[in-house]
Amino acid sequence: MSADRCNCKDLEQKLGAVASEWRETFDAIEDSVWLLDMDRHIIRANRASEQIFGKLPKDIAGLHCCQAAYGKVLPRTDCPFEAMLASGKRASVQMNLDNTWYEVSVDPVFDEQGCIIRAVYIVKNISRLKKAEYCEQNRSGILGRIAGGEPLPQLLSFIVLSIENGMPGALCSIMLVSDNGVRLLNGAAPNLPDYYNMATDGTKIGDGIGSCGTAAFRRERAVVEDIDSHPFWKGFAPAQEAGLRSCWSEPIISSSGVLLGTFAVYHRTPSTPTEDEIYLVQQASAFAAIAIERSKGEAERLKLEQLLGQSQKMEAIGHLSGGIAHDFNNLLTPILIYTDMLKRYLPDNEKVRSQLDGIIKASGKARELTQQLLSFGRKQVMQMQVLDLNNVIMSFYSILRRTLRENISLSLQLSSQPVVIHADSSKLEQVLLNLLQNAQDAIAINGVISIETGQVLIDDEFARRHPGMNAGHFVLLSCADNGCGMNAETMSQLFEPFFTTKEAGHGTGLGLANVYGIVKQHNGYITTVSTVGNGTVFKIYLPVCDEKPQSVRGGRELEGSDHSGSAVILLVEDNEMVLVMTSDLLEGFGYTAYG
Domain boundaries, the chain: 20-125, 131-300, 385-543, 564-595
Over range 56-61, report the average pLDDT: 87
What share of the chain has pLDDT > 70, as a percent? Answer: 79
* Per-residue pLDDT at 200: 94
pLDDT category at 15 given cuts 50, 70, 90 is very low
> Of the given ranges (134-148, 332-346, 498-512), which has the lowest mean pLDDT?
498-512
- In single-letter form, the type of residue at position 174 comes to I
Residue 492 has pLDDT above 80, yes or no: no
What are the angstrom distances between the C-alpha of 458 and each of 165, 540, 541, 572? Answer: 47, 12, 9, 46
Q: What is the CA radius of gyration of the chain?
A: 43
Over range 176-181, report the average pLDDT: 90
Model's pTM, two decimal places?
0.46
pLDDT category at 389 given cuts 50, 70, 90 is very high
- Pairing mode, strands 568-570 and 592-594: parallel
Query: Which residue pairs from 228-234 have beta carbons closer than 8 angstroms and sit at least 24 positions apart in sequence?
Result: 232/208
* Extended beta strands in 434-556, E state: 447-458, 472-481, 525-530, 536-543
Residue 3 has pLDDT above 70, yes or no: no
- Pairing mode, strands 447-458 and 408-413: parallel
- In single-letter form, the type of residue at position 289 comes to A
- In single-letter form, the type of residue at position 111 comes to D
* Residue 229 Cα to chain centre, angstroms: 37
Return the higher-pLDDT residue of 161 and 430. 161
pLDDT tens per residue, range 230-279: 999 998 999 999 999 999 999 999 888 899 999 999 999 999 998 888 88
pLDDT tens per residue, range 181-190: 899 999 999 9
* Residue 47 Cα to chain centre, angstroms: 56
Please name the residues in contact with 76: beta carbons below 8 A apart, sequence gap of 6 or more. Answer: 66, 95
Q: What whole-number distance in Å separates Cα of residue 345 and Cα of residue 351?
A: 15
* Per-residue pLDDT at 557: 42
pLDDT tens per residue, range 312-332: 665 666 566 656 666 666 677
What are the angstrom distances between the C-alpha of 519 and each of 307, 376, 525, 538, 559? Answer: 17, 9, 6, 12, 34
Q: What whole-number distance in Å separates Cα of residue 125 and Cα of residue 32?
A: 9
* Per-residue pLDDT at 2: 46
* Per-residue pLDDT at 555: 40
The H or E element containing residue 116 is: strand 116-125
pLDDT tens per residue, range 519-535: 888 889 988 998 888 88
Q: What whole-number distance in Å separates Cα of residue 104 and Cα of residue 118?
A: 16
Q: Considering only the top CATH level, what class is 385-543?
A: alpha beta
List residues bridging with 388 in a β-sheet.
Answer: 420
- Say if 131-300 and 385-543 have the same CATH topology: no
* Per-residue pLDDT at 573: 72
8-state DSSP, 149: T
pLDDT category at 306 given cuts 50, 70, 90 is low
3-class SS at 241? helix
What are the angstrom distances between the C-alpha of 594 and each of 516, 570, 587, 589? Answer: 41, 5, 10, 14
pLDDT tens per residue, range 444-469: 888 999 999 999 998 888 888 777 78
Over range 424-450, report the average pLDDT: 86
Over range 120-124, report the average pLDDT: 88
Neighbours of 316 (CB within 10 A): 10
Over range 200-222, report the average pLDDT: 95
* Residue 574 Cα to chain centre, angstroms: 54
* Per-residue pLDDT at 372: 57
* Per-residue pLDDT at 7: 55
* Per-residue pLDDT at 307: 61
8-state DSSP, 551: P
CATH 3.40.50.300 fits 20-125, yes or no: no
CATH number, span 131-300: 3.30.450.40
pLDDT tens per residue, range 537-586: 999 999 999 888 766 544 444 344 556 666 778 777 766 766 776 777 77
Return the higher-pLDDT residue of 40 and 337. 40
Please name the residues in contact with 526: beta carbons below 8 A apart, sequence gap of 6 or more. Answer: 495, 515, 516, 519, 538, 539, 540, 541
Residue 221 has pLDDT above 50, yes or no: yes
Q: What share of the chain is helix, strand, coil (3-state, %, to 5)?
A: 45, 20, 30
User: 114, exposed or middle or buried, with CB in 10 Å at 0-12, 13-18, 19+?
Assistant: exposed
Q: What whole-number distance in Å separates Cα of residue 459 and Cα of residue 450?
A: 26
- Pairing mode, strands 408-413 and 259-267: unpaired
